[in-house]
Structure formats: structure tokens, C-alpha cells
Amino acid sequence: MAKPKASILVVDDEPAMRLLLTSILKDAGYEVTAAATGEEALQLVAQRHFRLVVTDLKMPGASGMDVLARIKRDDPDTPVILLTAFGSVDGAVEAMRQGAAHYLLKPLANPDELRVAVARVLEERRLADEAATLRQASEAAFPFGQIVAEDPTMRMVLDLARSVASTDATVLITGETGTGKELIARAICHWSPRVDQAFVAVNCAALAETVLDSELFGHEKGAFTGAVAQRRGRFELAHGGTLFLDEVGEMSPALQAKLLRVLQDGTLDRVGGAKMVTVDVRVIAATNRDLQRMVAERSFREDLYYRLSVFPITLPPLRERRADILPLANHLLAQASRRLGRRIAGFSDEATGRLRDYAWPGNVRELQNVIERAAILCRGDRIAATHLNLSPFPPSTPLSQPKPLRDIERGAILAALAAHDGNRREAAAQLEIGLRTLYARLKEYGISGEAEAEE
């Protein structure tokens, strides 16, 4: 489907100038409405929304300043470009103080002057809208005040998060897959002075190197095949706010170097770009990898590691915060019940015991999946033990006789598959093995029907 054209209102009392402006903008692909007076323009903006207004400053009756004032009162997000004769520059400067996005001198030197100004203002509006959308999404995604932390180890984590939140220090959150690293990152943002700015999240493991480069740092038009227009990256979208880099240990050496430069001096260069761009971004990174070991193996830059780990926070696995298991289960059950329109009061005694004693190799994410499935299966007012789909995994307490390594490996694979609803790519990532290796193990151990779901 074709992208809708941006709607622009042109206001000028001179017919020739009005026709010229309209023609230039229509030729540039915009949807243009023309008004001959300020009064007509005010009627139009009261009836419909325009993406941009271009208006003459000096007009009989309602002036460009009157149009600007009404728009800033009723629809403050709509940008206004003022047109003024050379002798009225002071008036245009005052209009800028009152909220105008830009001004141009009449007569125009050439059509490109108008086209470039309109394109720039509309791009700034688009970026502001996108940042607002990201901010709203982050606010909706973060369950304010609902982080379950009754276990002392988790309370210590939240204390650390609150302590660093008021600063701009770079934070490195480490922990196993499914422990809630992004939730803590969002909490830090929520408790920080940047709470009203964008929270932008990027999963570094989910994108190929070239795609991640463009996604993080943006690209210029023509930088590569398919780059039909300039694109600002996530760093620029997060300007003034917070950028969350999940799975930062998966970044290539080249991208590690570019990230280091941003952290050092706040500048970046877009793919195919010739000039540096300055950004003000608070970076929070997360990983389930052992970055110190990667530094020793020379697969992760030592200087970048120290830049990222200014304030490290380690999330404990769920098996080490046992006081949180049942409160978390009840919290997740309440959420699932609301989504499904069910009235499920809680868990049977047997189900409670199984939840409490299970090792939870997939951590909170596995618990969430187990509770969601149990709520779907439950037809009464309590979750029974038979509703819980718990994988055969070595218990958290030591066994009197150690299991063979083959059985432990098979159990770990089954648990990882269960934690990720059978998604083999995500299970391989949790196990820190390649996808081909996982398929070989599945064949070796005869695992097929247990995990048929694919990514």
C-alpha cells in the first residue's frame, strides 16, 4: 500500500505566490491545501489536521502570527514555517520565539529552498512522533511498582538500580537468560531524570552485523543497496533518553569499536556518512555471556568492557531467589487470569510444592510460560500439579549419586526447549551452543516429539 502523502496548508494573500508555493509542494509529492487569508486558514485548521502549515507573515486581517498562535494553542505539535519579506526579519525571529519551526525570506531564491525546509521540518516532526511512540511503549511495557522482590538478593539488586538511576553512569546488567535484565533496565530509566525521554531497546543478537550497524548508527542515502533515504539510527532516536543494548556480547569487533567511540565522546558516524553526529544518550547494556572471559579470549574489547561496566549489576537466577518463586507465580497467574477472562484463585498444595522445589533453568521466563499454559488448561478455581508442564531437569539439591554427563546434557536441552516453547534457536542461545550443534544433540538423544515447534 502506498505511503500517504503529508498534508500541508499554504497560506498567502498574494495569488501568484500562493500558486507558486502550491505548485512546488505538489510537485514534491505533498497533498496541499491553499488559503487566501489568515481567517480562511484558521477555519481550515479548526476543521482538519495538517502535518505542516506554511504561512505568510504579513497579511491583512489575521496575520501569520495569529495563525501561529492559534495552532500552538490548539495543536501544538503541528509545525509552522513563516514566509516574510527581507524587511520583516525581526518579526520572523519573534515568530521563532513563539514556536515557529522555521522561516524563509520572500521572494524564494529557488524552489529547492522551500522543498529542503519542508522536508527537514517534517523529518523532525516524524522523529519526535517516533520518540514519543517509543516512550509510550516503554511506559506501557514497564509494570511500575510491580517488580516482585521479596527475596533479599533481589531487593539488593533493586537497591543498586535505584542508586545508579539518578546518575548518567553506564550500567552493565549480567545474568542468565530469562532473569529479567530488560525489566531492570526499564526500572533504572523510570527512576532516572530521563524518565520523560525515549527508552529505546535493541537486541544485538537478533540482527546481522550490517543490519545492526544501520539500526544503531543510521545510514545516509545511497550508503548501500536499498538505502533510498537517510535514516537515523537508534542512538539518535534515543537522544536525551536511554538506549538499552541487550546481548551486547554478540556485537562484532567492528561494531564494538563504533560503540566505544560513542561512549567515549558522544559522537557517531552514520553508515556511508562523512560527518560526525553528536548524541546525548544514557547506555544500559545487558548480556548472559561472561564478558571477562571473552576479554581474556580477545573476542571482546577490554576498553569497551570497562566503559560498559562502570556500574555492574548481576541478576540472580530464580533458583537463587526462592522466596520470590511463589509471589512471582501468583503475580503471573493474576495477569494470565485477567487476559483469559478466568477466575483462578491460586494453586493447589501439590502444585505449590512443585513450583517451590523446581530448579527453574529457564528462570522467570520459564515460570511465565508454565503459568500461562497452566491457566489455559485450568477449568476450576485452582491450578493443579497436572497443569504444570515442568521439564525433566536435575533438581536444585545435590543428588547422592551424580548423573551421567549424557543425562545431564539431555535434561539441559529439554529444559531450554521448554523454557522457549520449543524455539530451537533461542534454546541454542541459552545453552551457548550453535544451532547445528543443537540439532546434532537432538538427533543423538532421540529428542523430536518433545519439541516440534520451530522459530
CA distance 86 to 243: 44
Do 7-130 and 142-316 agree at the fold level? yes
Specify the higher pLDDT residue, 103 or 408: 103
Give the CA-trace dihedral at 161, 166, 168, 169, to 10 degrees: -40
The predicted pLDDT at position 373 comes to 94
The answer to whether the beta carbons of residues 310 and 169 sit under 8 Å apart is: yes
Average pLDDT, the chain: 85
Residue 219 pLDDT level (bands cut at 50, 70, 90):
confident
Rg (CA), the chain: 28
Compute φ and ψ for 58, nearest 5 degrees.
Answer: -95, 110
List the one residue out of 75, 4, 82, 76 whose CA is nearest residue 38. Answer: 82
Q: Which grid cell sits at 145?
A: 511498582
H helices present in 319-384, as ranges: 325-340, 349-357, 363-377
State how far the Cα of 161 lies from the Cα of 170, in Å rounded to an integer. 12
Return the top range by mean pLDDT from 119-128, 150-159, 429-438. Answer: 150-159
Digit-coded pLDDT (tens) for 188-210? 998 999 988 889 999 998 888 88
CA-CA distance, 181 to 187, in Å (whole number)?
Answer: 10
| Tens digits of residue pLDDT in 272-323 | 877 788 899 999 999 999 999 999 999 999 999 999 999 999 999 999 999 9
- How confident is the model at residue 395, as a pLDDT? 44
Number of C-beta neighbours around residue 324 at 10 A? 22
CATH fold for domain 142-316: Rossmann fold (3.40.50)
C-alpha cell at 2: 502506498
For residue 33, what is the enclosing H or E element? strand 31-35
- How confident is the model over 342-396, as pLDDT tens digits? 889 999 999 999 999 999 999 999 999 999 999 999 998 999 999 998 876 544 4
Poorest-confidence range of 45-49, 63-67, 347-351, 362-366? Answer: 45-49
Residue 150: which H helix or E strand, with range?
A: none
Instruction: Report the run of H or E that residue 388 belongs to, with start and end.
Output: none
Percentage of the chain modeled with pLDDT above 70 = 87
Residues 6+ apart with CB under 8 A from 42: 62, 66, 67, 70
Mean pLDDT of 169-196: 93
E strand or H helix that includes residue 9:
strand 7-11
CB 229 within 8 A of CB 272: no
Q: What is the pLDDT of residue 214?
A: 86
Per-residue pLDDT band at 92 (split at 50, 70, 90):
low
Q: Which residue has the cell 561496566?
A: 309
Query: From 2.70.160.11, 3.40.50.2300, 3.40.630.30, 1.20.1600.10, which CATH number describes the 7-130 domain?
Result: 3.40.50.2300
Please answer whether residues 106 and 17 qualify as being in contact, where contact means their C-beta atoms are separated by less than 8 angstroms.
Answer: yes
List Cβ neighbours of 298 (8 Å cut-off, separation of 6 or more). none
- Top pLDDT among 450 and 335 is at 335
Cross-strand bridge partners of residue 382:
346
87 or 75, higher pLDDT: 75
pLDDT at 435: 82
Q: Record the pTM.
A: 0.59
Whole-number pLDDT of residue 139: 47
Worst-scoring range by mean pLDDT, 216-220, 339-343, 419-423?
419-423
Residue 108: DSSP 8-state:
P
Strand partners, 85: 106
Q: Which residue has the cell 533510498?
A: 228
Q: Which CATH architecture has domain 391-455?
A: Orthogonal Bundle (1.10)
* Residue ranges per structural domain of the chain: 7-130, 142-316, 391-455
pLDDT at 228: 61
